[in-house]
Structure 1
Amino acid sequence: MHADAGFVPVARLAWNDDYAPDGWDYQLFDTFNGGRPDVVFMAHDPDHVGGMYTPGTGEYVDDYDIGIARAQAYQPGTSKI
């Protein structure tokens, strides 16, 4: 849905159980990395409207703030941030 609207993954952060939402159901979301999906940071790129999301894309970062910074620094129309 997001890729179709032109959002591209620019970074991802591995799941951390310490930050799971209250009541997170690991069994319900088991399909997604055993209920521990990555946090994916995306940026809008008008050139990618109608695009497809490829699971696993986006470079891993070690910190949430770095992921946010990469999304904010993304330059539409390029693959560079």
Structure 2
Amino acid sequence: MPVARLAWNDDYSPDGWDYQLFDTFNGGRPDVVFMAYDPGRVGGIYNPGTADYVDDYDVGVARAQAYRPGMSKT
């Protein structure tokens, strides 16, 4: 389940990132989506754009690590 999103930052793109290859995804600059495991949602449908934006990668990681099934997404 998505618990946070971080807007793409070209400064942190992987070496050799091909913006043209991934152009379908926000011009080759997809959001970083932080996910957490929720056994009650296995097989569920992912809705692009869900989860709140965060301004820092470590905050996204912390939200994923802190998530407990049944929690609100925020």
Letter in 2 for 1:9: P
1:60 aligns to what SS in structure 2? coil
Inter-partner Cα distance in structure 2 for 1:49 and 1:78: 15
Picking from 53, 57, 60, the partner of 2:50 is 57
Shift of 1:78: 2.9
Root mean square deviation of aligned Cα: 1.1
User: For 1:28-47, what aligned pairs fall within 5 Å after superposition?
Assistant: 28-47=21-40
Inter-partner Cα distance in structure 1 for 2:57 and 2:49: 17
State TM-score, norm by structure 2.
Answer: 0.94
Q: Percent identity?
A: 81
Give unmatched runs, 5+ long, in structure 1. Answer: 1-7
Question: How many corresponding residue pairs?
Answer: 74
2:36 aligns to what SS in structure 1? strand
Inter-partner Cα distance in structure 1 for 2:25 and 2:12: 16
Shift of 1:75: 1.2
Letter in 1 for 2:21: L
Moved over 3 A (4+): none
Deviation string 1:1-23 (CA, Å, 9 cap, x unpaired) is xxxxxxx0000000000000111
Inter-partner Cα distance in structure 1 for 2:73 and 2:15: 35
1:44 aligns to what SS in structure 2? coil
State TM-score, norm by structure 1.
Answer: 0.87
